[in-house]
Amino acid sequence: MADFVFEVFIPDGTPTHTYVKRAEEKNEEKLAAALDMPKMVISISGPSKTGKTALVDTLITTDRIIPVSGQSLHSSNELWQSVMRWIGGPEEVEKIKNRVLKAGVAGKASGEAGVIFAKGKAEGEINGGIEVATATSEKYGIEFFEAVVRELSGSSFVVFLDDFHYISEEAQIDIAKSIKAIAERGVRICIASVPHKSDDMVRANDELTGRIVSILFDYWTVPELEIIAKTGFEALDVDIAPEMIKQIATEALGSPQLMQSLCLNLCLEKGIRNKRVLERRIDVTDAEYRAALERTTLQTDYSRTVEKLHAGAKERGTQRKEFKFKDGSAGDVYRAILLALIENPPRLSFDYDEIMKRIKNICTDEFPVGSSVQLALKQMDGIAKDIKRDSPILEWDDDKLEITNPYFMFYLRSSQKISQIHKGRSGMV
């Protein structure tokens, strides 16, 4: 039997003991109301790791959610084929012919299930106004679409399409049209995306305007994140100083998922795996706190990304100017920017003036001029997009730098990677 601490703090899943309803957001109420509205598409948008999936999993029971990832889709046909795969239907049109299926949830027959597929017809025949294709035709998507309608229309099941922004623009147009059509046929659809891509669905099909219910997420506040820790530690009968809880919540950078990880790893570092017999104040030393942070960085690896950003854009000819920093190292403008970003307080958004202020603060003497910093930031934006075009970990635009993934900034601040790069570079000299 697993230790109780793993039931309390759950970084990669839906927590029960430490699920927090955000009073200001009221997203639970908004989603519940949206699910009651017929023929509407629900759009949930928010930054990475802010609890979008946890909200859906909590409000809609797991056996009613049909999950599909946008990363794997290239057409509407693939979307409805994925849905059919989940409910236990055939994956190819040839297999659909002459069969009667009882689709179920995770192997269980559903009272709302019961797909009856069209028997083999010659291509060109009409079945209820929908053309039925033969196995040699490429019009497979029509039949998958109709099969999903028969199975899910009017039911309580919800197709949850996560990461819609990962789908190519061309495929988004096809999928958005299909989603509009199937929602009108009574199939519940919920889409999740990141904020700056939240309008992708409407841009892909402007006929969806007025047919979408939007639920917007934002990064969590420090007091909201503190509730996760307080609730979890109380469940374990553990008393942690409020100052320590606030410190952890600040380091979590607005991410409840990261907060769960930090609390879990602090418990593991202190040897707390089950309820304590006596509730008493648990002291956390600086070494234990640092060890908990380091342990958390092991759950995600951005080492290659940091190396590439630290190296900067490839240049020919002149060598970059070096500067001396307060941490005892020396390096170019790229190292200066990275060291500036990890200065306190932790943040995910920086305007140009804030970046320059931090750079001046970490340099011992001379510091990079503004034009070189702006050029380096622009090139770092390009490097991040080269690493992952659809979801770069940072973006520089209009004199503002946005770190789009809290885990990257946490790794940058709490791992030893930047120090290791300096040591490795010094050893090569």
Domain ranges (residues) in the chain? 27-216, 228-297, 303-428
Provide the percentage of residues in the chain whose pLDDT is more than 90.
Answer: 64
Q: Can you give the pLDDT at residue 125? A: 31
Strand-by-strand arrangement of the 65-69 sheet: 65-69, 158-162, 188-193, 41-45, 212-216
Mode of pairing for the β-strands spanning 323-324 and 330-331: antiparallel
Question: Which position has the token pair 């049109």?
Answer: 93
Query: CB burial class (10 A; 0-12, 13-18, 19+) of residue 23?
Result: exposed
Cis status, amide bond into 345, omega within 30 of 0: yes
Q: How far is CA 275 from CA 218, 241, 279, 372, in A?
A: 33, 17, 9, 54
Q: In the 8-state DSSP scheme, what is residue 190? A: E
Would you say residue 140 has pLDDT above 50? no
CATH class of domain segment(s) 27-216: alpha beta
Can you state the percent helix, strand and coil of the chain, rounding each to 5? Answer: 50, 15, 40
Phi/psi for 26 (5° steps) reads: 55, 40
Q: pTM of the entire structure? A: 0.80
pLDDT in tens, 238-269: 999 999 999 999 999 999 999 999 999 999 99
pLDDT in tens, 366-414: 999 999 999 999 999 999 999 988 789 999 988 999 999 999 999 999 9
pLDDT in tens, 398-411: 899 999 999 999 99
pLDDT in tens, 347-359: 999 999 999 999 9
